[in-house]
Structure 1
Amino acid sequence: MSLILGHYGLLITLITSLLCFIFYKSDITHKYGGYISFVLFTLTFILYAYSSISCDPSYLSLSNSISSQMPYIYRVGSIWSNHEGSIMLWSYIIQLYAFYLKVSVNIPEFQRTIVLRWIYLILFFFLFYTYFSSNPFLSIYTGQLIDKELNPVLQDPVLIIHPPIIYFGYLGSTLIYSYTLSYLYFNDDKILIELRFIAKYCLSILTLGIVLGSWWAYHELGWGGWWFWDPVENISLLPWFCYVMILHNKPSNDRSIKPRWLLLASFFSFLFSCYGTFFVRSGLIVSVHSFTQGSSRVVVMLLSIILFFMLFSHYYIKDKRKNQSQMIPTVYASNLIILMSLILIFMGTVLPPVYMYMYEKEISIGSVFFDNLANIITLPLLLFILLSLTEIKKEFIKIICHFLVSIIIINFYISRFSLEIGILNQVILITSISIITIHGMHIINRRVNYKRDLAHLSIVLIVIGASLSSQLECEFILSLYPGEKLVFNDMNLFFRDLNTLDTYRFKANYADLLINFKETSAITFPERRFYLQNSNIISKSVILSGLTSDIYLLLGEGNYSDGWYVRILLKPFISFIWLGSLLLAISLLMTNSRKVTSTYNEIHNIKR
């Protein structure tokens, strides 16, 4: 019965979204169509969620990811752990954004109608794809539940919220795309203010989603890294960079000038978001993020992306205004660097699978390429941050003083701890500390743009964390026996005992390790688990986190004859990555924390 209800709920929502697009001027459709679509889709999604949590054996889409032995919290994650459920969640979030716009008072009614029309067109195409190609309400007759537990690596509370959050960050671009088309249609600068307002929200949410995925990889995958340059990780950076470009390109007060950079960044943020979900489902990549291994299901999605591209191109070319030519030099230069980064990341990610598909030969563009790219673009971007937020003529002496102080601090730190840091990374750190000191004073003095300074300061913290954690990382691979003690690199390690743990879901060996390192003293229990349901073997690391350093411990294979594999990583300043990312998300929301009424007044008082 639930399958039939869900099936028809999805179908009626599909039809309703099409009617809202076609008959957008109709009073009945305009007043009630959006509410009907929202209520129906919400009930349909709740029905599917309930079926996942209750382990309904009749759902084909859930047959490989649910188990009656799994805790309820992980059954929630099963809703979007499969291809069908994830694409329905994707469509439902578009529906939520449409409903938000429906009840919002930020824009005039006649403009809201046009923006909603484009959103319902996008919703229709994704619902069409969901219903006809990836229907989550297809049945399978088994008579009873065949337990197939979710991959143990995915059974993590953080990973339950990671996909919805990153989808919200991606799909805010549907609003941005719809606002862009409406701006080209009306030529009204009031729309661009709301567009940039939404872009701040999207950048904040997407940042939070990306860092949650990175934090999960660091804690759960057992290799000690936080960014693997996985194809889907790379794709997530493309809309992120586009959102950054939107925020750094303000429209001109002259209505006869077309804000080219702003419009193109707005469009490509949506295009890259759609491309990301297409890429995951194309079967072209092998990744922890990929869902399917066949390309036949993505034809509709690819055609939809082409349609959205043609739609934007039509309105963009139709707009005959001259392009904006006068820009702040630092903003223009940063635009070029971000654009170059976008192209290189895109090409480096797409070329290997496309080449493999076309020529059946493998080529590899590995992490070394992307690491070098990150090093190359980081320094000029930091310099532009420094120059854009200071008045060179008035504060030239101050900048030089900050640079000199930063050089002294870095050199003292390097000589004091006998560190080996490359020249480029030293310059990056010197620039970063200069930015921190200058912007720190701005924030303390609560200058007009102190919230903007806070956002840029968070970027610098991320850069420092990424640079120092990779440059100063220390790794120790040991073979230890229970009862053995070791002293090395100012660290005391005592392998006190090896114990076993049996549960209804897994069996585990866990080490009892006493560790003393500088001010840190702790007893840890890294595990190596064997999951009974799917015969997976997973190492569960233990991380002792501090503000300036993390100690990462992992237990591997072993026996009483040859000893047990123990891996220890020292990760200096990696916490700066998490703190900086969280600070960036919060600072962006702070700049958006104005009331709706003030937003409305700003829109109507814009200088023309």
Structure 2
Amino acid sequence: MIAELGHLALCFALAIALVLAIFPLYGSYKGAAGPVLLARPLAILLFLLTSVAFGALCYSFWSNDFTVLNVASNSNSMLPWYYRMTAVWGSHEGSMLLWVLMLSGWTAAVALLSNSLPLILQGRILGVLGIINVGFYGFVLFMSNPFERTLPFFPVDGRDLNPLLQDFGMIIHPPLLYMGYVGFAVSFAFAIAALLGGRFDSNWARWARPWTLAAWLFLTLGIMLGSWWAYLELGWGGWWFWDPVENASLMPWLVGTALIHSLAVTEKRGTFKSWTVLLAIAAFSLSLLGAFLVRSGVLVSVHAFATDPSRGLFLLFFLLVVVGGSLLLYGVRMHAVRSQARYQLFSREVLLWGNNIFLLTATLVVFLGTLYPLFHKELGLGSISIGEPFFNSIFQYLAIPFALLLGLGPWVRWKQQQWQPLLQPLSMVLVAALVLAVGVLSLYQTPSANLALLGLILGAWVTVSTVGEIQQKAVQLGGVPGLFKLQASHWGMVLGHLGFAMLVVGIAMTKTFSVEKDVRMKIGDSVELNGYTFLLSDVYALNGPNYGGQAAELEVFAHGEKLTHLHAEKRFYPVTRSVMTEAAVDARLSRDLYVALGEELSGPSWALRVYVKPYVRWIWLGAILMALGGLVSLSDKRYRRKAKVAVAETGADAHA
């Protein structure tokens, strides 16, 4: 009965989404308040119904209801309860239900937290979100029903959750990632609503910016957790492999980053309007593209869901409708988004526009590198692979001008900046950055460290420039107490830039100075790597709740003293006949010691892979710092003020 209740709730949710897609847009077109006023309760009801459906699926997994096909295919009675909850979104069907839960949640949040918006604009935004909801609810109900039964015949036990997903990271990674993916639907809805109404001003940008920041924040944390999960779970010591599914999440993040900065320009200067609208359309379109790539079966990836082509065709059709329809509307209404503001070549507007260009170029590189092999194969030209060297080399060249502009931007005024007053402070910043980078690099004895030097220079440039700009603000505002007068969005920018600098340094240092060694060891054997001695002290049988295998205990010594103890595992899951590596990691701010247990060899002996990875933690800490910057920016009081406009548009405005 619980599964039927969940299915019924989804059916009602689809009906509510249809009403939400029609009535508010009709009311905004006619300038009638009545239909528009229905949008808020409809959005809340949509979320409540979806929550009932999601709760029903969670209960089915928790109670081991193997009469539900989704539960039988992705869970097992021996699976710990917390992984049974993870299994809710560990399948295509369950993850799509999580997707629509997030979408309905964002829709309800817009309905509840948009009191400062004109009523007609609220109706347009919620109506556009209603249309998007209709597409996804239709997909879930007709193509990916999570409540399909196995009756009259059902298994006594399930097939178990994919062992790759039986990890703490998978408990929180997908919800955060989906919150980011789906959150860009709100930015998209704001853009389409503005195109429909023909109203673009600083208030519109101020309303849209916090929603974009929130989506970007969640996506940043989701990508960071995905990288951390791959680092721990796959056993190869890497944090990014340019996997097509990894790329699918990176593309909307890059465009979303550009969108945040473009919204800032639109809010403060009333320019970049058409650019901002296109970025909002692109960010959500790339989120939909990611959903298609992951669920269409066109990609081979450890992250992808195996699914039939008919589902992929549905998503492709929906993607084409959303992208084609929005671009068509933009073409028709583009006269309404022309900017009138003027600015000189050397101004903050131009620098922000330049960084947007570099972000979009990076997106294009990822897009082509991900999809070109697919087109090449489909055209009958054979299989090709575009791997890590291609992406790394291109991004290295793009990072240089991007970081230079990022450090320079906060020093430059809006509209126009004379370059002479900046020569002395920026020269000091540059010298300090070079000295800092060379000083850090001198601590490492290596014949060639070009990448590390480049990363340190860029990271130091952004860091010293950001700190210098804050020091300059303190002087202008009468000392350190004056810094408390700065807006929260300014401090968010500072944290975001410092996080980016930290990430760049972490990438460069890890890529340059990581060392690894594949060894064959018996109990009592030791191996030395980069000044650390790894001693294999024991290997024994492992018995988990739904797996077996072997565990290895290692002692690590440095300078003759015991430093730490490592526990590595090689797990075997009998239900799925899968073997998984659980790496042992000793994490410090300046380095990771990483050991992966391999196969048992004759002797008896075991294959092990040992790594020393300097500053790899800085990559994830940098991402967390960037997300924290987004959170601080969200706390800006400007986003909670009512706009100095009428609370409702007139009927004539609605037709404009």
TM-score class, shorter = over 0.9
- Tell me the CA shift for residue 133 of structure 1: 0.9
Provide the residue aligned with 2:494 in structure 1: 453
Provide the residue aligned with 2:212 in structure 1: 199
Provide the residue aligned with 1:352 in structure 2: 373
Question: Structure 2 vs 1, CA of residues 453 and 527 (structure 1 numbering), >3 Å: closer, same or farther?
Answer: same
**Residue in structure 1 matching 2:618, options 551, 562, 576:** 576
> Do the aligned partners of 1:211 and 1:578 also contact (CA within 8 Å) in 2?
yes
Provide the residue aligned with 2:30 in structure 1: none
> Do the aligned partners of 1:553 and 1:567 also contact (CA within 8 Å) in 2?
yes
Provide the residue aligned with 1:273 in structure 2: 287
Q: Does residue 498 of the first structure (1) align with residue 498 of the second (2)? A: no
**Aligned letter for 1:192?**
A
- Tell me the CA shift for residue 598 of structure 1: 3.6
> Do the aligned partners of 2:39 and 2:111 also contact (CA within 8 Å) in 1?
no
> Do the aligned partners of 1:230 and 1:287 also contact (CA within 8 Å) in 2?
yes
Provide the residue aligned with 2:105 in structure 1: 96
Question: Structure 2 vs 1, CA of residues 8 and 489 (structure 1 numbering), >3 Å: closer, same or farther?
Answer: closer
- Tell me the CA shift for residue 423 of structure 1: 3.3
Provide the residue aligned with 1:164 in structure 2: 175
Q: Deviations for 1:476-510, whole angstroms, at most 9, x for unmatched residues?
A: 22211112244454222322222223344222322
- Tell me the CA shift for residue 306 of structure 1: 1.9
SS in structure 2 at match of 1:567? strand
Q: Deviations for 1:243-281, whole angstroms, at most 9, x for unmatched residues?
A: 1111222227787x7712111101101100111101111
Given the two structures, how large is their TM-score scaled by the length of structure 1? 0.94
Provide the residue aligned with 2:652 in structure 1: none
Question: Structure 2 vs 1, CA of residues 329 and 602 (structure 1 numbering), >3 Å: closer, same or farther?
Answer: same
The percent of aligned pairs where both chains have the same amino acid is 27
Provide the C-alpha distance between the structure 2 equivalents of 1:183 and 1:279, rounded to a whole number of angstroms: 30
Q: Deviations for 1:368-394, whole angstroms, at most 9, x for unmatched residues?
A: 111111211111111001111225533
**Structure 1 range deviating more: 414-423 or 473-482:** 414-423
> Do the aligned partners of 2:92 and 2:307 also contact (CA within 8 Å) in 1?
no
Q: Deviations for 1:505-540, whole angstroms, at most 9, x for unmatched residues?
A: 222322221111368701222122222322222221
**Residue in structure 1 matching 2:74, options 65, 83, 106:** 65
Provide the C-alpha distance between the structure 1 equivalents of 2:110 and 2:437, rounded to a whole number of angstroms: 50
**Structure 1 range deviating more: 231-240 or 488-497:** 488-497
> Do the aligned partners of 1:93 and 1:171 also contact (CA within 8 Å) in 2?
yes
Provide the C-alpha distance between the structure 2 equivalents of 1:486 and 1:9, rounded to a whole number of angstroms: 59
Provide the residue aligned with 1:430 in structure 2: 457
> Do the aligned partners of 1:442 and 1:453 also contact (CA within 8 Å) in 2?
no
Q: Deviations for 1:384-420, whole angstroms, at most 9, x for unmatched residues?
A: 0111122553342233233333333433444442124
> Do the aligned partners of 2:452 and 2:508 also contact (CA within 8 Å) in 1?
yes
- Tell me the CA shift for residue 425 of structure 1: 4.3
Provide the residue aligned with 1:524 in structure 2: 566
Provide the C-alpha distance between the structure 2 equivalents of 1:603 and 1:509, rounded to a whole number of angstroms: 67
> Do the aligned partners of 1:399 and 1:434 also contact (CA within 8 Å) in 2?
no
Provide the residue aligned with 1:19 in structure 2: 19
Provide the residue aligned with 1:230 in structure 2: 243
Provide the residue aligned with 2:42 in structure 1: 33
Q: Does residue 585 of the first structure (1) align with residue 627 of the second (2)? A: yes
**Residue in structure 2 matching 1:116, options 116, 126, 129:** 126
> Do the aligned partners of 2:126 and 2:189 also contact (CA within 8 Å) in 1?
yes
**Structure 1 range deviating more: 13-22 or 401-410:** 401-410
Provide the residue aligned with 2:514 in structure 1: 473
**Residue in structure 1 matching 2:351, options 296, 312, 330:** 330
SS in structure 2 at match of 1:99? helix
Q: Deviations for 1:7-48, whole angstroms, at most 9, x for unmatched residues?
A: 222112111211222222354844643333232222111111
SS in structure 2 at match of 1:359? coil
**Structure 1 range deviating more: 384-393 or 521-530:** 384-393
Provide the C-alpha distance between the structure 1 equivalents of 2:528 and 2:468, rounded to a whole number of angstroms: 44
> Do the aligned partners of 1:179 and 1:192 also contact (CA within 8 Å) in 2?
no
**Residue in structure 1 matching 2:144, options 134, 146, 169:** 134
Provide the C-alpha distance between the structure 1 equivalents of 2:601 and 2:51, rounded to a whole number of angstroms: 53
- Tell me the CA shift for residue 180 of structure 1: 0.4
> Do the aligned partners of 2:517 and 2:529 also contact (CA within 8 Å) in 1?
no
SS in structure 2 at match of 1:124? helix
**Structure 1 range deviating more: 191-200 or 530-539:** 530-539
**Aligned letter for 1:515?**
V
Provide the C-alpha distance between the structure 2 equivalents of 1:515 and 1:171, rounded to a whole number of angstroms: 44
Provide the residue aligned with 2:582 in structure 1: 540
Provide the C-alpha distance between the structure 1 equivalents of 2:89 and 2:515, rounded to a whole number of angstroms: 37
Provide the C-alpha distance between the structure 1 equivalents of 2:83 and 2:118, rounded to a whole number of angstroms: 43
> Do the aligned partners of 1:451 and 1:587 also contact (CA within 8 Å) in 2?
yes
- Tell me the CA shift for residue 552 of structure 1: 0.5
- Tell me the CA shift for residue 430 of structure 1: 1.4
> Do the aligned partners of 1:461 and 1:580 also contact (CA within 8 Å) in 2?
yes
- Tell me the CA shift for residue 596 of structure 1: 8.0
Given the two structures, how large is their TM-score scaled by the length of structure 2? 0.87
- Tell me the CA shift for residue 340 of structure 1: 1.4
- Tell me the CA shift for residue 427 of structure 1: 3.1
Provide the C-alpha distance between the structure 2 equivalents of 1:33 and 1:293, rounded to a whole number of angstroms: 32
**Aligned letter for 1:373?**
I
- Tell me the CA shift for residue 604 of structure 1: 8.1
Q: Which has the higher contact order (CA 8 A, sep 6+)?
A: 2
Provide the C-alpha distance between the structure 2 equivalents of 1:439 and 1:406, rounded to a whole number of angstroms: 11
Question: Structure 2 vs 1, CA of residues 235 and 181 (structure 1 numbering), >3 Å: closer, same or farther?
Answer: same
**Aligned letter for 2:169?**
V
Q: Deviations for 1:144-174, whole angstroms, at most 9, x for unmatched residues?
A: 4333111222101111111111110011111
Provide the residue aligned with 2:259 in structure 1: 246
Provide the C-alpha distance between the structure 2 equivalents of 1:453 and 1:3, rounded to a whole number of angstroms: 49
Question: Structure 2 vs 1, CA of residues 211 and 504 (structure 1 numbering), >3 Å: closer, same or farther?
Answer: closer
> Do the aligned partners of 2:452 and 2:505 also contact (CA within 8 Å) in 1?
no
**Aligned letter for 2:56?**
L
Q: Does residue 378 of the first structure (1) align with residue 389 of the second (2)? A: no
Provide the C-alpha distance between the structure 2 equivalents of 1:242 and 1:520, rounded to a whole number of angstroms: 47
SS in structure 2 at match of 1:248? helix
Q: Deviations for 1:168-207, whole angstroms, at most 9, x for unmatched residues?
A: 0011111111100111222142222111221111111110
Provide the C-alpha distance between the structure 2 equivalents of 1:348 and 1:493, rounded to a whole number of angstroms: 39
**Structure 1 range deviating more: 47-56 or 502-511:** 502-511
> Do the aligned partners of 1:56 and 1:145 also contact (CA within 8 Å) in 2?
no
Provide the C-alpha distance between the structure 2 equivalents of 1:603 and 1:331, rounded to a whole number of angstroms: 28
**Aligned letter for 1:80?**
W
Q: Deviations for 1:317-375, whole angstroms, at most 9, x for unmatched residues?
A: 22224744856221222122122111111011011123223327211111111111121
Q: For structure 1, which runs of at least 5 residues remain unmatched after alignment?
A: none
Provide the C-alpha distance between the structure 2 equivalents of 1:487 and 1:182, rounded to a whole number of angstroms: 62
Q: Does residue 566 of the first structure (1) align with residue 566 of the second (2)? A: no
Provide the C-alpha distance between the structure 1 equivalents of 2:231 and 2:164, rounded to a whole number of angstroms: 12
Question: Structure 2 vs 1, CA of residues 468 and 34 (structure 1 numbering), >3 Å: closer, same or farther?
Answer: same
Provide the C-alpha distance between the structure 1 equivalents of 2:119 and 2:376, rounded to a whole number of angstroms: 48
SS in structure 2 at match of 1:278? helix
> Do the aligned partners of 1:52 and 1:79 also contact (CA within 8 Å) in 2?
yes
**Residue in structure 2 matching 1:463, options 504, 511, 515:** 504
**Structure 1 range deviating more: 360-369 or 512-521:** 512-521
> Do the aligned partners of 2:212 and 2:260 also contact (CA within 8 Å) in 1?
yes
Question: Structure 2 vs 1, CA of residues 450 and 222 (structure 1 numbering), >3 Å: closer, same or farther?
Answer: same
Question: Structure 2 vs 1, CA of residues 111 and 415 (structure 1 numbering), >3 Å: closer, same or farther?
Answer: closer
Provide the residue aligned with 1:149 in structure 2: 160
SS in structure 2 at match of 1:127? helix
Question: Structure 2 vs 1, CA of residues 375 and 603 (structure 1 numbering), >3 Å: closer, same or farther?
Answer: farther
Provide the residue aligned with 2:232 in structure 1: 219
> Do the aligned partners of 2:551 and 2:570 also contact (CA within 8 Å) in 1?
yes
Q: CA RMSD in A?
A: 2.4
SS in structure 1 at match of 2:69? coil
Provide the residue aligned with 1:300 in structure 2: 314
Q: For structure 2, which runs of at least 5 residues remain unmatched after alignment?
A: 28-33, 344-348, 413-418, 475-479, 648-656
- Tell me the CA shift for residue 3 of structure 1: 3.2
Provide the residue aligned with 2:346 in structure 1: none
SS in structure 2 at match of 1:119? helix
Question: Structure 2 vs 1, CA of residues 64 and 593 (structure 1 numbering), >3 Å: closer, same or farther?
Answer: same
